[in-house]
Amino acid sequence: MKGPLSIAIALLRNLNRAIETALRPIGAALVVAMLCTVVWGVIARLAGISSPWTDSGMLIMLPSLAFVIAPLAYRRSANVTLDLLKDSLPPRWASVHGFLMHLFILLILLIGLDLTLRKIGVDPGPLSRFIALVCGLDLSEIRPFAMPMRVPVIGIQWSTIYTIMPISITLMIAANIELLLRNLQAFLDPETTKALPIRSIEDSASRLWD
């Protein structure tokens, strides 16, 4: 019989895998769009064609791609990391190390969510009070984008483009909670397969979760 912790991890895994499935084609489309924009920009310059929208397009697509990919990269540890300390620790202490690191990252993500919500004009309310209680940070001075601020040439409001950031951070928080529970599971039961790192099981032995 599965314990509550295993069930919670399995549910979060299914949620995060669904998120990954949705984000992958978006990321691929942005990569293709960026490539086409760069190629057209070069051709336009060589041919003397006026194409000022290419620079503005890249201003939108570069940060958008980064935040679309961020939840996938974070969950699968595809970002650059220093594992020397963790790899030198016994399994249970490595789990404690991982749990504390992801707990610290969760706090950073919550602060980032508060800041980015404020920039698009959403008052986080209880989240701000929690951050003030835990960190002593008063983020109320952060002001949203002024309404006239638009992307040059294209004319889209920056607040609209910026919306990708709180969405991405929210998805990263969902991944973070799964990783926290995985490390807790690994501490309680170092032998369980489901407590292994994401890339160790989902790419090669996904059937173990079914």
Q: Given a cut of 70, is residue 207 above it in pLDDT?
A: no
Torsion of CA 163, 168, 174, 176, to 10 degrees: -130
Cβ neighbours for 172, distance < 8 A, ≥ 6 positions apart: 70, 71, 74, 75, 109
Q: Are 172 and 109 in contact (CB under 8 A)?
A: yes
Asked whether the whole model's pTM tops 0.85, one would answer: no
Query: Over the chain, what is the mean pLDDT?
Result: 82
Mean of pLDDT values over 14-20 = 93
Would you give the distance in Å from CA 208 to the centre of its chain? 26
Residue 193 confidence (pLDDT) above 80: no
The more confident residue out of 156 and 14 is: 14
Q: How far is CA 149 from the centre of its chain?
A: 26
Whole-number Å distance between alpha carbons of 104 and 110 = 10
pLDDT at 106 (0 to 100): 95
- In the three-class reduction of DSSP (H, G, I as helix; E, B as strand; rest coil), residue 190 is classed as coil
If one counts the domains in the chain, the total is: 1
Give the domain extent around 108. 4-209
